[in-house]
Amino acid sequence: MCSTIALNNGLIVPVIGLGTWQGVDSPKEVEKAVRFAIDAGYRHFDCAAIYGNEKEIGKVLREKISDGVVKRENLFITTKVWNDDHKEEQVVKACKKSLKNFGLDYVDLYLIHWPVCDSDDVDYVETWRGMEKCVELNLTKSIGLSNFNSEQVNRILKVAKIKPVMNQVECHVNLNQKKLRDFCKERGIAITAYSPFGAPNTPGSNAGFKSTEKVALDSPIIEQISKKYNKSKYQVALRYLIDIGTIPIPKSSSESNIKANFDVFDFKLTLEEVEEIDKLDSGKRTCPAFQYKGFKYYPFDAEF
């Protein structure tokens, strides 16, 4: 049984979600993945306009709803506004377009995908006003941020009429985000952990890693814990993220991996084990977004 976390607006989110950025996989693959995931018990799906597969995902969700397998109110659907739609009125349009793609009346969470906009001239504070409008129009139940650093989160909190419920950031055993997690926790903002395995098979990822550091999941401590609980290193990585209070969203297209990634609710790491894994932190990103380096709102120059 998947455990859940209550967001600061009372909405309940399952602590494991399916990542749907398929990298090299096709939208048809994601369709199959969503079907496997619902059958395995997943109710939380992490999507984005830029992933180009909202239509396929929506088709499966609606099929599963009409077949009586799930109820809409038991699903938690996230999607994100892309960096070319940051103006206030564009945000509402983009949200409506995502809903049309899904064939749904609302999403549960709408995120600003990045604080940076492609044209480098729209302040994300303006984008936030568009996000609030999406809540007022009942297009989404809640709104939040992704890839925002602590200073950027603070700037939003200063102006927000509606508080962000979430900051979705890269988080895994190599980059456990301790400071940003503590910062967000104090402010009632939950953390979704993206690339929970460090996106091992994505071309162009691991940009911040030396080849020897790429595979922290292969470290002896993970191996040892994995043996102790008879769980795979991937399951240990997910359990670590849950035990430090985040919401991991592993991507997989394989039925057996999708099932295995959900089979993490029958064990829990000890405090000592969490502290051992904490030591694997290298502070390096698989997703440094170098293409935005030098942009006004590039998030990764701040300490956290």
Ligand X SMILES: NC(=O)c1ccc[n+]([C@@H]2O[C@H](COP(=O)([O-])OP(=O)(O)OC[C@H]3O[C@@H](n4cnc5c(N)ncnc54)[C@H](OP(=O)(O)O)[C@@H]3O)[C@@H](O)[C@H]2O)c1
d(CA 21, CA 304): 25
Bridge-based pairing state of the strands 12-14 and 166-170? unpaired
Smallest distance, ligand NAG to C-beta of residue 170, A:
28
Using CB under 6 A as the binding rule, whether residue 234 contacts ligand X is answered as yes
| Residue 51 is a catalytic residue | yes
Tell me which residue of 40, 44, 36, 80 sits closest to 60, measured CA to CA: 36
Number of residues that bind ligand NAG (CB under 6 A): 3
Q: In the stretch 129-168, what mask flags binding to ligand NAG with x, by CB under 6 A?
A: --------xx------------------------------
Tell me which residue of 63, 47, 53, 57 sits closest to 25, measured CA to CA: 53
Tokens (6 digits) for 173: 């055993």
d(CA 224, CA 212): 19
Member of 186, 230, 272, 303 binding ligand NAG (CB under 6 A): 230
Using CB under 6 A as the binding rule, whether residue 19 contacts ligand X is answered as yes
Q: Of 84-123, which residues contact ligand X (CB under 6 A)?
A: 113
Member of 102, 197, 292, 297 binding ligand X (CB under 6 A): 197
245 binds, among ligand NAG, ligand X, none (CB under 5 to 8 A by kind): none
Member of 31, 46, 85, 276 binding ligand X (CB under 6 A): 46
- Decide whether 48 or 222 has the Cβ nearer to ligand NAG: 222
Interface contacts to ligand X, rule CB under 6 A: 19-21, 46, 113, 146-147, 168, 194-202, 234, 249-254, 257, 260-261, 287
